[in-house]
Structure 1
Amino acid sequence: MDFAFDARTEELRGKLLAFMDEYVYPAEAVAEEQRAALASPWDSPAVVEELKAEARRQGLWNLFLPDAEYGAGLTNLQYAPLAEITGRSPQLAPTALNCAAPDTGNMEVLAQFGDERQRKQWLEPLLAGEIRSAFAMTEPEVASSDATNITTHIERDGDEYVITGRKWYISGAMNPDCRIFIVMGKTDPDGADIRRQQSMVLVPRDTPGVTVERAMRVFGYEDHYHGGHAEVIFDHARVPVPNLIGEEGGGFAIAQARLGPGRIHHCMRLIGMAERAIELMCRRAVSRTAFGKALGQQGVVHNWIADARVQVEQLRLLVLKTAWLMDTVGNRGAHTEIQAIKIATPRAVVGIIDRAIQLYGAGGVSQDFPLAELYAAARTLMIADGPDEVHQRSLARRELKKYL
């Protein structure tokens, strides 16, 4: 394994670091000011559109997509250090580069499983940043950590599918530019193979019977720049049969293909969030005095900073190994490592941000610093894309299987 950055990665890293310093970090405060003056909290601040235009001008666009026909054609190993950099400003930077979830996963699904018409109608405008999208899988009435529990019905009626169900925490659905939902439901609820009961269909937001019921908050945050999270009702919503993605019964497999890259992307960005927290911790430690000496001279603060650095270096190596495996042996071959990073990274980063908050005192939980919002985002990722316990169960069973 060689994790040295190649020439293209170094070039993009240099451009992206400069872009963050010159455009993204200064835009954080501007975006908050502009958002407060918007007619709707879900409208995009003007500075976000300016960032997107500049990123596209600089060639920092669709870096996440390994398909060279549609994206930058980077490997996971090449993209990892770039995603880490965007994680330092997780609300603005991924969106500015058109590398924000859930659009990234949806574009990957359409690129890999969509037909020519679907790619033309939905993938191309997503790649251009002209529209946004949402992925409707999680449901409030069942334990959605087990995707076979999904109860939304997708019933064929002639040349149409009729979708009936209730979803929630559907990321991006509050954004007025969200035009399309990828909806997972059951086309064969009584099928013998529980992993062949589900399918995915494309449902335009303006389809009769689709209602965005309410916004869902995350630790009190509405997550505006992400497009919010919504509860969505599908009440006998009808779409043409050609809106099926792939084949009937292929929804579970498509979901697994989508979630693998999504999990590593989250972990890449989490490392950037941890680096931002360490930077803020160190700046605070050398600028504040308590009990007669700088916080940075307190032994407990030394421990916090040292432990954080060790954890980040460990996590980065594990993420890079996972990216390398995904590139060389595929997602299935990297299954163990994908689960390992999904367990380890959010847990460790939550602890690092928590100690940074402690160092800032009241300021750490305020809106004047990004730490509280970083904490909420990192803590949520212990649930999103599968809770830790599900991954631990699967990983442990795979280890035990060697001895049975």
Structure 2
Amino acid sequence: MDFSPDPTTVARHEQLAAFMDEHIYPIESTYNEQLQAAPERWSPPPVIEQAKAAARSQGLWNLFLPGSDGAGLTNLQYAPLCETLGRSPHIAPVATNCAAPDTGNMEVLHMFGTQEQKEQWLAPLLEGQIRSAFAMTEPGVASSDATNIETSIVRDGDHYVINGRKWFISGAMNPQAKVLIVMGKTDPSADRHHQQSMILVPRDTPGVNVRRGMTVFGYDDRDHGGHAEIDFVDVRVPASNLIGQEGSGFAIAQARLGPGRIHHCMRLIGIAERSLELMIDRAAQRVAFGKPLAEQGVIREWIAESRVRIEQLRLLTFKAAWLMDTVGNKGAHTEIQAIKIVAPRTVEWIVDKAVQVHGAAGMSQDYPVADWFTQVRTLRFADGPDEVHKNALARHEIRRRTSNV
């Protein structure tokens, strides 16, 4: 088990770090200014297109996707790159076409889409010409159990008709989001894990009614397209829009969530590293009770503890990525669950300490740590809440132990 970066990873990382220095960090303030001044509330700031063009010209594009459609990197090779993208989490992933939910949707189409679906939707997504959304979560049920999903997908001749309500549909408020992958039930009488299906729904289809944009801890999350609450009222799409087979939705969701979960964790390490840097900078600049904060014992304890936790987190992330490459996502299931449990909580603790060191400024818009705190806290729900992963992980451990006794 050797996590030393190979020459490909070293070269790519050096290239990406230089790109961040030249094209991402310098535009962060401009990005925020344009975001607030945008004439259309949910439109992305114009400066992002400049960053996308620069990334594309340098080949820093679709780094997340293995094979010929992407950059051809393994999960372990992508891990340090994704961490670096996480240092500017609202800009860098979008600029390199490595932002959720598009990454997961592209992976679904890459793995399960028909040739027609790939030509119509995957190709423009890979080119960064459009954005997309993934519609799974519902307000009326506990969506942490995906088998609870109530949205109906009913066959009617050569079409399917969709009815239901979804919410917290990330990216769906963005006018560039042209297609949604919707999860619903095609056969409520089937086995509970074979009731669901996934289907492609163009956003401009009649009956797709956006009720509102959802806030997250008071933020509208405009920077990644907002989170929509959507009613699907007699939405009719061609039967050819079905992804895979009827009843395969749950299995496709699990295939989609594996890489998505670890990508979130990779980016979180970047947030943690930058939060620690800001914490140290602030502690060195501020004086309290006659000496800099950096000389206060409790602050030094937070800094030391942050470094230890980051290193632990990175090693577990690398191990999960390595296992995904060597034994597959199913073989890495335990490690993926473990990293999804520990990463948001660990980084939440680090960002919280960065907020504390910044004092009142840490809660303001003048520093990114307040925004990062809400983003990290949200990830304790995204792709499954902590409790679901803990339960599944414990069940696996118990089964493994009892089967060997």
Per-residue CA distance 1:84-118 (angstroms, 9 max, x = gap): 00111100010000000000000000000000000
Per-residue CA distance 1:11-52 (angstroms, 9 max, x = gap): 111111111111111111001112222111211111100000
- The answer as to 2:351 corresponding to 1:353 is yes
- The answer as to 2:128 corresponding to 1:137 is no
Name the counterpart of 2:79: 80
Cα distance in 2 between the residues matched to 1:223 and 1:393: 30
Cα distance in 1 between the residues matched to 2:14 and 2:49: 22
Which of the residues 273, 280, 283 maps onto 2:281? Answer: 283
TM-score (norm: length of structure 1): 0.99
Name the counterpart of 2:61: 61
How far off is 1:190 after superposition? 1.3
5+ residue gaps, structure 2:
none
Cα distance in 2 between the residues matched to 1:206 and 1:234: 12
Name the counterpart of 1:219: 217
SS of residue in 1 equivalent to 2:229: strand
Name the counterpart of 1:148: 147
Cα distance in 1 between the residues matched to 2:211 and 2:51: 31
Name the counterpart of 1:208: 206
Name the counterpart of 1:370: 368
Cα distance in 1 between the residues matched to 2:85 and 2:221: 17
Letter in 2 for 1:197: Q
Name the counterpart of 1:159: 158
- The answer as to 2:167 corresponding to 1:168 is yes
How far off is 1:69 after superposition? 2.1
Q: Is the 8 A contact 2:151 2:184 kept in 1?
A: yes
Cα distance in 2 between the residues matched to 1:221 and 1:13: 32
Cα distance in 2 between the residues matched to 1:331 and 1:402: 18
How far off is 1:70 after superposition? 0.9
Name the counterpart of 1:51: 51
Name the counterpart of 2:4: 4
Cα distance in 2 between the residues matched to 1:211 and 1:135: 15
Cα distance in 1 between the residues matched to 2:154 and 2:296: 64
Cα distance in 1 between the residues matched to 2:201 and 2:400: 43
Name the counterpart of 1:94: 93
Residue correspondence of structure 1 range 244-255 to structure 2 within 5 A? 244-255=242-253
Per-residue CA distance 1:347-400 (angstroms, 9 max, x = gap): 010000001100000010100000001101100000100000000000001111
Cα distance in 1 between the residues matched to 2:334 and 2:117: 33
5+ residue gaps, structure 1:
none
Cα distance in 1 between the residues matched to 2:189 and 2:344: 36
Q: What is the root-mean-square deviation in Å for CA atoms of aligned residues? A: 0.7
Cα distance in 2 between the residues matched to 1:59 and 1:150: 40
Name the counterpart of 1:41: 41
Name the counterpart of 2:396: 398
How far off is 1:227 after superposition? 0.9
SS of residue in 2 equivalent to 1:215: strand
Cα distance in 1 between the residues matched to 2:36 and 2:313: 37
SS of residue in 2 equivalent to 1:26: helix
Residue correspondence of structure 1 range 186-201 to structure 2 within 5 A? 186-191=185-190, 193-201=191-199
How far off is 1:402 after superposition? 2.5
TM-score (norm: length of structure 2): 0.98
How far off is 1:152 after superposition? 0.2
Once the two structures are overlaid, the 10-residue window that deviates more, 77-86 or 40-49, is: 40-49
SS of residue in 2 equivalent to 1:196: coil
Once the two structures are overlaid, the 10-residue window that deviates more, 380-389 or 30-39, is: 30-39
SS of residue in 2 equivalent to 1:222: coil
Q: Is the 8 A contact 2:152 2:185 kept in 1?
A: yes
Cα distance in 1 between the residues matched to 2:19 and 2:361: 27
Cα distance in 2 between the residues matched to 1:35 and 1:105: 25
Name the counterpart of 1:115: 114
Letter in 2 for 1:247: Q
Per-residue CA distance 1:217-268 (angstroms, 9 max, x = gap): 1111111121111001100100000000000000000000000000000000
Identity of aligned residues (%): 65
Q: Is the 8 A contact 2:201 2:237 kept in 1?
A: yes
SS of residue in 2 equivalent to 1:135: strand
Letter in 1 for 2:170: S
How far off is 1:334 after superposition? 0.3
SS of residue in 2 equivalent to 1:249: coil
Per-residue CA distance 1:106-156 (angstroms, 9 max, x = gap): 000000000000000000000000000000000000000000000000000
Letter in 1 for 2:350: I
How far off is 1:290 after superposition? 0.5
Letter in 2 for 1:178: A
* Aligned residues between the structures: 402
- The answer as to 2:336 corresponding to 1:338 is yes
Per-residue CA distance 1:304-358 (angstroms, 9 max, x = gap): 0000000000000000000000000000000000000000000010000001100
Residue correspondence of structure 1 range 373-392 to structure 2 within 5 A? 373-392=371-390
Name the counterpart of 1:296: 294
- The answer as to 2:18 corresponding to 1:18 is yes
SS of residue in 2 equivalent to 1:194: coil
Which of the residues 239, 248, 258 maps onto 2:237? Answer: 239
Letter in 1 for 2:289: F
Extract structure 1 runs of 4+ deviating beyond 6 A. none
Letter in 2 for 1:226: H
How far off is 1:403 after superposition? 3.4
Cα distance in 2 between the residues matched to 1:33 and 1:87: 20
